[in-house]
Amino acid sequence: MIGGNESCSAGPIPMSYLTCLTYILGEWTGVEHIEDYLSYAVYLLWVLFPLAVVFLLPGVIVILFYSSILVLHIYKRKNELKEAYSNDFWDGAKQMLATLWDGHGRIWHGYELHGAENIPEGPGLIVFYHGATPADYVYFTARLLIQRKRYCHVVADHFVFRLPGFKILLDVLGVIHGPKEECVSALKKGCLLAIAPGGVREALFSDEMYTIMWGNRKGFAQVAIDAKVPIIPMFTQNVREGIRTLGGIKIFRSLYERIRLPVVPFYGGFPVKLRTFIGEPIPYEPNITAEELTTKTKAALQVLIEKHQKIPGNIFRALMERFQTQKKED
C-alpha cells in the first residue's frame, strides 16, 4: 500500500497524489491552471460549511417525524392480528414513539419538564407559546406519557394534514383540525387538549423577543368555557434559540399572508437547553366571557415567559445553559 506522501507517475515526472489528480482533471476538462479553481472551490467550501450546517440541522426534526411514521407502519404490520384482542391497538406504538422522542430531547437538549403537577387529573386545555417548530411540544407529550401515563391531544394547522405520509402519525397521536365542536367533544370525554393560539404565524414570525402573536384569536377560550375546563399555560425556555426562522424578511411575511403556507426558511438545530414550564391552571368561571378569558390566559403565559426566559434570547447563552443547574427562576 502506498503512503499519502508517496507519489504517482504521470509521465516522466513523479507527482504527489493531489498534483496527479489535478493533472488528470486538467487533461480531462481541458482547463488550464485548474489547480487555481480547485483552491478557490476548497476555500468556498470551508467558508460556507458552517452556513450549510445551520440550515441542514433542522432537517433532523423532519427525519425524526418520518422515522416515527416508519415505526408506526412497521408496528401496524406486525400487530394487525392482535388488534381484535387489544384494548388500544396503538398503546405499544405510542410508548415506542415517546421513548424515541424523549431520548432525542434528553440527548440533544437536556430536556426538562417542570410543573407537571399543575396538570389536572381530568380534562384541561393546555395553551402554549409556539416555537419555530413544535418539537418542544412533542418532547412534552413524550415525557408526560412516560412519567404520568397521560396522553395529550393537540390542535394543528390545516396544512399539516396535507403533508405526505403524515396521516398515520396524526391519527395515532390524536391530532385534530380544530373545529370548536371537535375540541369541546374531546374535552368533555375527559381528554387533555393542547393548542397554540398563535399557530403558524407565531411560529414563523415571532423572534428572540418572544412576542406572543395571537391577533384576535379567542376561539380557544370559548372552547374552554363551553367544555367547562381549566386552561393551563405552558412555555418552553429557549425554544426560539434551538431553531430560528428568517421571518423578519418582509418578502416571506408577504408570501405567507398570500398563500398561507410555511415557506419561511429555518436554520439552527442547535443543542440548546430546553425546559418546559407548566403554569398554574386558570379555573373555569361560568360568568367569564371569551375575551376576558383570552386576556387572562395571555397574561399568564406572558408571566411564564418573563419568569423563565432571558430576553432577548441568545443562542450562545442557551447553549451554555446546558452546563448550568440554575434556571432563570423556578
- The catalytic residue positions are 130
- Residue 270: CB atoms within 10 A of its CB come to 19
What is the 3-state secondary structure of the chain?
CCCCCCEEECCCCEEEHHHHHHHHHHHHHCCCCHHHHHHHHHHHHHHHHHHHHHHHCCHHHHHHHHHHHHHHHHHHHHHHHHHHHCCCCCHHHHHHHHHHHHHHHHHHHCCEEECHHHCCCCCEEEEECCCCCCHHHHHHHHHHHHHHCCCEEEECCHHHHHCCCCHHHHHHHCEECCCHHHHHHHHHCCCEEEECCCHHHHHHHCCCCCCCCCCCCCHHHHHHHHHCCCEEEEEEECHHHHEEECCCCHHHHHHHHHHCCCCCCEEECCCCCCEEEECCCECCCCCCCHHHHHHHHHHHHHHHHHHHCCCCCCHHHHHHHHHCCCCCCC
Q: In 10 A of CB 166, how many CB atoms? A: 18
Task: Please state, in angstroms and rounded to a whole number, the distance separating the CA atoms of residues 12 and 26.
Answer: 17
30 grid coordinates: 481541458
Give CA separation, 243 vs 95, 133, 157, 187, in Å.
26, 7, 19, 31
The one-letter amino acid at 295:
T
- Cα torsion 32, 36, 41, 46 to 10°: value is 170
